Structure 1
Amino acid sequence: MYELLTTYRDELLYSLAVIILLMVIQFILKTAANKVGKKSEINFTRTRLMFKYINILILLIAAFLLAIAWGVGLTELSVIFSSVFAVIGVALFAIWSILSNITSGIILFFSFPYKIGDTIRIHDKDLEVEAEIEDIKAFHLHLRTREGELITYPNNLILQKPVSLIERNRYRDEGKDAL
């Protein structure tokens, strides 16, 4: 065991440093997303979705840095990553709509002026709808009309179409000062 530790001492130290650094970066990113969520009064389930995206990003960076630490050359890494990204690129091209909705979901997290409980009107030539925002998911919004109809509206379209605020959620500010 001692021989193993002395043989791979540099690699183990570098790996430990990378893991600690990435854990600190992950903590900072999650704290920042949490602060943005609280400041913008964003539902915590949406904030947890951002946590998942942060975890995936940190995991990819960790895999890359640890591969370098353990002696995988840049040429081998470039072959692996280009092959993986080529396969992912072909697969994602086939499902570009899902990517578009995920990206839109991230944009909505940081800059969507409407919150859960607000009543909005979407001005779309195919669908003119007035509804209350029931939930904001990674791919779509759940909208509830006054008649009780549930409409699932894609995130990418909510960013492309004009939206009017009809009524602000009147219960949003209740209890805000309690914390």
Structure 2
Amino acid sequence: MTMESFFITYQDKFIISTIVLVSLLIIRYVLNFTITKLGRRSGINEARTRLIRRYVNVTLVFIAILFETNYIFGAEFKDLALIFSSVFAVLGVGLFAIWSILSNVTSGIIMFFNFPYKVGDKIEIHDKDFPIRAIIEDIRAFQVHLRLDNGNLVTYPNNLMIQKAITLIKKDAIDDGIDTI
């Protein structure tokens, strides 16, 4: 089979693949634009916005691979199911040991879209074992950096930020000139 006959034989599949990839690139652009706009409007840190965009991009790549292999190139669903179940079985065993990390990443995503506190806010976390009164310095993928009144830095896991009761003491405490050290 020559190269020319190969392209003629699979021309329709190449055209459909190109349409799918261009469509996914457009969807990626729209989603990234929307996430960036939402992040700016909500005053969310640029690093957190980039992290959420990265999660969306990886998800779109997996969707593209699944769509291309299954619908365009005709891979049988049972073959894909076998591959994905094997991969997820290995990942499941490996990730079971680090479930708290996944919990913190998921909490970080939830906090990006629905978290009433921002960097610079002074908050109080109502924890019976370790109550905290601090200023939010940074919100990261796994934890929140809190600056205590005595100057100590506390890293607080994202999943606990969602689980614990929190009181907003002062909005944008850093901007108001409150000393954090």
TM-score between both structures, scaled by the size of structure 2:
0.90
| Unpaired stretches in structure 1, ≥5 consecutive residues | 174-179
**C-alpha distance in 1, partners of 2:101/2:145?**
16
Deviation at 1:138, TM superposition (A): 0.6
Q: Does 1:95 align with 2:98?
A: yes
- Find the counterpart in structure 2 of residue 134 from structure 1: 137
| Unpaired stretches in structure 2, ≥5 consecutive residues | 177-181
TM-score between both structures, scaled by the size of structure 1:
0.91
Deviation at 1:128, TM superposition (A): 0.9
**C-alpha distance in 2, partners of 1:137/1:19?**
31
Q: Does 1:61 align with 2:67?
A: no
Please show how residues 155-170 of structure 1 align to structure 2 within 5 Å.
Answer: 155-169=158-172
1:52-96 deviations in whole A, cap 9, x for unaligned?
101110111111112122232111111111111121122222211
- Find the counterpart in structure 2 of residue 24 from structure 1: 26
Match of 2:16 among 6, 14, 33: 14
**C-alpha distance in 2, partners of 1:37/1:172?**
19
Q: Does 1:151 align with 2:154?
A: yes
Local SS of the residue matching 1:13? helix
1:6-47 deviations in whole A, cap 9, x for unaligned?
021122112111111111111121112112112211111110
1:118-141 deviations in whole A, cap 9, x for unaligned?
111111111111111010001100
Which 4+ residue blocks in structure 1 deviate beyond 2 angstroms? 170-173
Give identity over the alignment, percent.
Answer: 50
Q: Does 1:85 align with 2:88?
A: yes
Local SS of the residue matching 1:114? coil
Q: Which amino acid aligns with 1:55?
A: N
Number of equivalences? 173
